[in-house]
Chain A
Amino acid sequence: LAKTTQPISMDSYEGQEVNITCSHNNIATNDYITWYQQFPSQGPRFIIQGYKTKVTNEVASLFIPADRKSSTLSLPRVSLSDTAVYYCLVDGGGSYIPTFGRGTSLIVHP
């Protein structure tokens, strides 16, 4: 299974753009990259998914370089409600078993 590495924590302020990078050096050819958000005492929820280049939806953008060994989740103009833990997951190379790394705890300050 592809292992992911993320910063343990990040701090930001309201209105700023936040970029969280995830390393997945042994990603397999068919693997997708998916990011989830988790609030305390809740189940994770889907944010965005991509395979290569750039993906954008109404809440975030996902940048994936050509070698796909990393990905960056970009949150534009964060608010206090974006304070959460963010996880990147990589497909298990054909045997998809969603395995979580340590995630990144984002704290947004007023």
Chain B
Amino acid sequence: GAVVSQHPSRVICKSGTSVKIECRSLDFQATTMFWYRQFPKQSLMLMATSNEGSKATYEQGVEKDKFLINHASLTLSTLTVTSAHPEDSSFYICSAPGGAAGDAGNEQFFGPGTRLTVL
């Protein structure tokens, strides 16, 4: 099956700094990617839809100026957590659909996740 990678797998940073997380589709192209956040013992919460060549679409309650998303190529989307604070500590996961976005029956391929800890 298709593979999605994330880098880094875990990161620890000081409060107030910015952290960039990369999501790559390794053997397929993805015009759309999705970013999730997952707190302990909770489900995945969709943060935003990343669109290649255009602005991301953010879910209600997600600050677009804090969580900057750039989808500059068909295989790479980045999530930058700006001015990170301890409450941003979480597990961040990206995914990409196996087919064209909006198609019924698309299988989602998920990255392995990035554990962010803000001190």
A residues with a Cβ closer than 8 A to B are 30-32, 34, 36, 41-46, 49, 51, 87, 89, 91, 94-103
Known: A41-B91, A43-B95. 19 other contacts (CB 8 A): A30-B104, A32-B105, A34-B107, A36-B108, A36-B110, A42-B112, A43-B110, A44-B44, A44-B95, A44-B108, A46-B109, A87-B44, A91-B104, A91-B105, A95-B102, A96-B97, A98-B95, A98-B97, A100-B43
Residues of chain B within 8 A (CB-CB) of A30 are 104
Q: Which of B46, B105, B108 meets A51, CB within 8 Å?
A: B105
Q: For B114, give the chain A residue with the smallest CB separation.
A: A43
- Pairwise interchain contact A96-B104, C-beta atoms closer than 8 A: yes
The 21 listed contacts between A and B (C-beta, < 8 Å) are A30-B104, A31-B104, A32-B104, A41-B115, A42-B112, A43-B6, A43-B95, A43-B112, A44-B93, A44-B95, A46-B107, A51-B105, A91-B104, A94-B104, A95-B102, A96-B102, A96-B103, A96-B104, A97-B49, A101-B43, A103-B43
A97 to chain B, nearest CB (A): 7
Q: Give Cα distance in the complex from A100 to B101, angstroms.
A: 17
A98's partner among B4, B46, B104, B111 (CB-CB below 8 A) is: B46
Structural contact, B43 and A102, CB atoms closer than 8 A: yes
B61 on interface, CB distance cutoff 8 Å: no
B residues in contact (CB < 8 Å) with A: 1, 4, 6, 34, 36, 43-46, 49, 91, 93, 95, 97, 101-113, 115
CB distance from B114 to the nearest CB of A (A): 10
Contact A87 B43 (CB under 8 A): yes
The A interface, classified by DSSP as helix, strand, loop or mixed, is loop
For residue B3, give the distance in angstroms from its CB to the closest CB of chain A: 11
Inter-chain contacts of A94 with B (CB < 8 A): 102, 104
> Which of A44, A49, A87, A101 lies at the interface centre, i.e. has the most chain B CB atoms within 10 A of its CB?
A44
B101 close to A96 (CB less than 8 A)? yes
Q: Are B113 and A43 closer than 8 Å at their CB atoms? A: yes
